[in-house]
Chains A and B, each alone.
Chain A
């Protein structure tokens, strides 16, 4: 074999490998292509920005969820925590009359604190994360209603800015990109990020290697809460008010995005880039079905099937590449 042919073959293998490892991305591109052909309304600047804005909340929640799922946990509370963070922030500004920056920071810290609480219940209280965060789902939603008495509260200008525009670019998209880069950096470059993979891959082996598993878990859930808090800022900022019933059920979208992005619920596997693609897949499907005037009832059916299909393909792929 000549070197040229060999090189070509290697390139061919690389492409094949890339496609096999990025099934969700391929799916997303096919989806976009199909929508581009089906409707002229899809590929317009306005619609693209629209998709970006819609994706921002889910993606930010899902980035936080990626930490948790990589560490072999699950966080059911992110939707409620997002709502609580937004409500605390808005109340600090409107009711307590605090500075807008303080209110923004307070909202984010509320998210982190709620996450840390779930983390401690998991790490030190030995509750399964499913149970600990199921409890937090209810507690956080309840507190949101208590604080607001069930009424919307106006947000600080600094929070509303996050929902607004920076020149022609919507701020949620900027936040999405920055949050994604930070999350990816944390997961790939830092010691704590690599510890998450080790803890998720084999908790006992990680512990015996001297990895402080309990601290890692608290940090993981605190990060998930922090990202949920940020998502809460985006949501409330867009409406200029924190809604007591905001983000109900968003945890399921976040989990779906992470799983479509190739993470394993068994832990130890997952990437931020995959999660972003997963979130985009969900949003593009919803957007496309809207453009095609498909009823929102049917949209739920389609989304469910897509989740099953995406994970099913992934399972098959893994089975075929055991060696």
Chain B
């Protein structure tokens, strides 16, 4: 590549205790280029960028800044060298203004007081760097996540950053917001800023990247151009061909009894008269746009939120409204939308997280059956192939896919027959996705029923036997797997939106 790189990690290694997380990896970031880091969760991407940012110090190898060896003692040192990281969790104070956030820690002062005019002017200049037209006096919390991210980028640039690390910047953005972000990335590239880009969406790589470094299990696998075909990227990343992205198998041969029946479910202003049935051995996909009411239906069925009218019947038993425990007793398991906030006690062990739903039912006289719980957790963790150092490892330190498997494991351990899955593969890498699909297969093969909410249409189409499409809070249509297409689903999904627009005009 042309010119000298801004930063080079040269044969760098890092271990935590006995675990070698990064093993002699070499990556360079060039001015005006976007270097993509690709790898499954746990491949070492985060550790690598944390070494670039000075959070971790390498055990072996060298870091070269403009060709000269350096040591980043802490994040201040790397920032001083012009390296800024835009994290997934943004470092902004929501209640303070855009200008105050951009100038945080270096407010212009006049007679010992904050010089408001200068503050606004300097912030404006920073926003202009990326052509972001927002009011500097607006509180950051009032902006959408996409704009907050851009504010953070503006802040980094105003600190003279010449290298940006973008850690999954597109994970929480809509299509349009992603396009806006990418145009900023293109501008920055023109201006010679070097960038590191991490994403789980392979289709973004060709669009935004120049070169791709692929990591697997902490080792460098290959560096390929960004326009490398997706299947080849997957092969490099996973280390094998994934012949089938959605390996749906229908192996259940028993009677197709209705396990979950929902009748006339309504929540004022959110869900309107939803009725549907999920049978033994069946995967029913619940599709629709964000805000169509899919998660609300799942949460109401699981007893997490109350509903206004209707009924939920599981395996012939009518479940009282807003009662999570009753659903679980009847054989329900709920894998919620956000595993970190709703699914897991992050600082508790894998063992404990798998056991929460069965702690009471296996107890004798109020005493925990530690031995039985542990054996069951071991068994489930083995079946689900949760990669961990042991059952006592805290869930926080597992990769996303393995965390998600731990949430599944709780319901497998509880012997759940009806699984409600809300975005089951969000933030999970390709390899672990397939493992989760296989898990769904084995649940239905054993006569279980699955209701799956997903915003990824290919996943809904690939894994469902039937697809229910929601629009504006009610069921707008049902499609059988064999004649469902993305177009048909989308037509149903926007039906009410279109109707609303027609009503208004």
- Which residues in A have some Cβ–Cβ distance to B below 8 Å? 189-195, 197-198, 201-202, 204-212, 268-269, 323
| Contact status B345-A206, CB under 8 Å | yes
Interchain CB contact under 8 A, B359 and A191: yes
In chain B, positions 335-351 with a C-beta closer than 8 Å to chain A are 336, 341-348
Q: Is B343's CB under 8 angstroms from A189's CB?
A: no
B356 touches A206 (CB 8 A): yes
Q: What would be 12 A-B contacts, judged by CB atoms less than 8 Å apart?
A: A194-B352, A195-B359, A201-B345, A204-B342, A205-B342, A206-B356, A208-B343, A210-B324, A210-B327, A210-B328, A210-B356, A323-B16
* Contact status of A204 and B346, CB under 8 A, knowing A190-B368, A191-B366, A212-B325: no
B132 proximal to A (CB < 8 A): no
Contact in complex: A191, B342 (CB < 8 Å) = no
A191 touching B346, Cβ below 8 Å: no
CB atoms of A201 and B346 under 8 A apart:
yes
Q: For the complex formed, measure the closest distance between the CB of A317 and the CB atoms of chain B, giving whole angstroms.
A: 15
> Assuming A189-B368, A191-B363, A210-B325, is B356 touching A204 (CB within 8 A)?
no
Interface size class of B (residues with CB under 8 A): 20 to 34
Question: Does any Cβ of A come within 8 Å of B357's Cβ?
Answer: yes
Distance, CA A212 to CA B347, complexed state (A): 20
| Other-chain residue from A192, A198, A269 in contact with B356 (beta carbon distance below 8 A) | A198
A-B CB contacts (within 8 Å), total count: 71
What CA separation (Å) do A202 and B340 show in the bound complex?
9
Instruction: Collect the chain A residues with CB atoms within 8 Å of residue B357's CB.
Output: 209-210
Give Cα A195 to B334, complex, Å.
19
With the chains together, A195 CA to B357 CA distance in Å? 10
In the complex, A198 Cα to B336 Cα: how many Å? 17
Give B361-375 as 1s and 0s: 1 = Cβ < 8 Å from A's Cβ atoms. Answer: 001001110000000
Interface on chain A toward B: helix, strand, loop, or mixed SS?
helix
Q: How many angstroms between the C-alpha atoms of A191 and B304 in the bound complex?
A: 22
Residue of B nearest to A212 (CB): B325
Query: How near does chain B come to A174, taking the closest CB pair, in angstroms?
Result: 25
CA A212 to CA B325, docked complex, whole Å:
8
Which 6 A/B pairs are nearest by Cβ-Cβ distance?
A201-B345, A323-B16, A209-B356, A210-B328, A202-B345, A191-B363
The docked-state distance in angstroms from the alpha carbon of A126 to that of B352 is: 27
Q: Give the complex CA separation of A192 and B341 in angstroms.
A: 22
Interface of B is mostly: mixed
Residue contact A191 to B367, C-beta cutoff 8 Å: yes
Chain B proximity of A271: nearest CB distance (Å): 14
Which B residues are in CB contact (< 8 Å) with A201?
Answer: 345-348
Bound-state CA distance A247–B302 (Å) is: 46
Besides the known contacts A191-B368, A208-B324, A210-B328, 15 further A-B residue pairs in the complex with CB atoms under 8 A apart: A191-B363, A191-B367, A194-B352, A194-B359, A197-B348, A197-B352, A198-B352, A201-B346, A206-B356, A210-B324, A210-B327, A211-B356, A211-B359, A268-B347, A323-B397
A-chain residues with CB within 8 Å of residue B269 when the two chains form the complex: none
Is A198 touching B366 in the complex (CB atoms < 8 A)?
Answer: no
Per the bound structure, the CA–CA distance linking A202 and B339 in Å amounts to 11
Chain B residue contacts of A205, Cβ below 8 A:
341-345, 356
Residues on A with C-beta less than 8 A from B498 are: none
Query: Which B residues are CB-close (under 8 A) to A268?
Result: 345, 347-348
B residues within 8 A CB of A323?
Answer: 16-17, 397
B residues within 8 A CB of A189? 367-368
A190, A202, A204, A212: the one contacting B366 at CB < 8 Å is A190
Write the chain A residue with the least CB distance to B302: A208
Which chain A residue shows the least CB distance to B327? A210
Contact B336 A208 (CB under 8 A): yes
User: What residues on B are CB-neighbors of A210 within 8 Å?
Assistant: 324-325, 327-328, 356-357
**B125: CB under 8 A from chain A?**
no
Q: Once the chains are docked, how many angstroms separate the CA of A207 from the CA of B352?
A: 15
Given contacts A208-B334, A209-B410, contact A198 B363 (CB under 8 A): no
